[in-house]
Amino acid sequence: MAVTINADAFRRLTTDPSGPAGQRLLAYVRRVQAAAVASAPVDSGRLRSDITIDGPDVGTDSITYKVVANTDYAIFIHNGTRYIDGRPFLTDALRSTRF
């Protein structure tokens, strides 16, 4: 018995953001974003409100989304400085969210 796979159809199935793989990936990314918002430190609330999703960026064989914190000081809170310890809310969100 032979199995034939249509390469173009398979590529569309796995790299089309509106297809099943793309929809599942977007649902996961939304959960990561929600976890990042929930775990981000809050003072004024600006950092939490500026955690967004960029994408999709569709490549030949990939779909890429990014969860980003758009404030200019997010990197210092996430990674820390010589004066404050980092609070890696984005990394923690990614690690705590199951695909």
User: Where residue 13 falls among pLDDT bands split at 50, 70, 90?
Assistant: confident
Residues spanned by the domain of 64: 7-96
**Is residue 13, in this structure, part of any structural domain at all?**
yes
Q: How many structural domains compose the chain?
A: 1
**Is residue 1, in this structure, part of any structural domain at all?**
no
- For residues 33 and 53, the answer to whether their CB atoms sit within 8 Å is yes
Angle (CA) 78 38 53, round 5°:
70
User: For residue range 67-86, what is the model confidence (pLDDT) as tens digits?
Assistant: 999 999 999 999 999 999 99
Those residues with Cβ within 8 angstroms of residue 37's Cβ, 6 or more apart along the chain or in another chain: 48, 51
User: For residue range 17-50, what is the model confidence (pLDDT) as tens digits?
Assistant: 998 899 999 999 999 999 999 999 999 999 999 9
